[in-house]
Structure 1
Amino acid sequence: MKGRPSIQAPEGADPVVIIDRPELQARWRRTVYSAMTLVAWAAWMYLWLPAITLVAWFLGYRRFVGEIVAPEGGIILRATLVYLLIIGAMGLILILWSRYNVFRFRGKTRRGAGEPVSDREMMDRLEISPEHLSALRGSKSAFIRYGEDGAVLHVGE
């Protein structure tokens, strides 16, 4: 690659490692990164907790079920089955609805640009002057105050 300086890793250093000397970072930054890493690992372990409990349950460690799930695990298992059935039914309904719409609108293009509106139609509809219309078009944002009857009371930026 011409035009770009070549970056060489220090002798004996692994070229894949970006930070070879984390002690050069500020102490507060290392502390914040360490805390963030700890929170991320805790969240990761929390997400794996049901799978770990299930494996332990199959291995005969019923104690985990009593401590983590509930003493009456059958109720929770039945509720989980009901939740799974509801989620499956909702997914099936969504798939059927999308297939129906694909079949219904196949080959039909209903999207398109609206009819262009002339300046005269815009001024008549909003009941504004040509000066107000050009000011509205030239501004990045506009403020229009309407009255109770829907008539434009004030146009400004």
Structure 2
Amino acid sequence: MSHPLIVTERRILPKLLDSLLTIIAWVGFIWLIYHGVVTVLHAQSEGGDPLSLTLGTVIFYLLIALANSLLLILWAKYNQRRFRTERRIRPQELPHGQLAIQFGLTQETLEQLNQSQIVVVSYNNDGTALEVSFKREQDVISKW
């Protein structure tokens, strides 16, 4: 998708936090790989069997993965049983007049919104609609 439906500005702090966590994860991954290779080479230089050391580690990791898989399956089955029936009550629909007031639109604009396939709404910082423009689907498809 070349154009997202909703475009939001990302602040610098979340970007820095994402980058920092990504770097920490990569450093940890590289350290684990390095530590494993060094351990195998060290065991081989002492005359030990590196295959038995590696096989034990792989079996341990597979047991942990199996336990995690079982927990995930049990959680999914629990949620399937729990949410089998819909317990929430659907809220009543707002009348068109009240909906138009809620969003600060006129009744005619709301009717056009209901009938249009593609609408661009511009809001100010307070959340009040500044401009509503309606586009025909043929016009938009030809521009993309």
Scaled by the length of structure 2, the TM-score of the pair is: 0.50
Higher-Rg structure is 1
Choose between structure 1 and 2 for higher RCO, CA contacts under 8 A separated by at least 6 residues.
Answer: 2
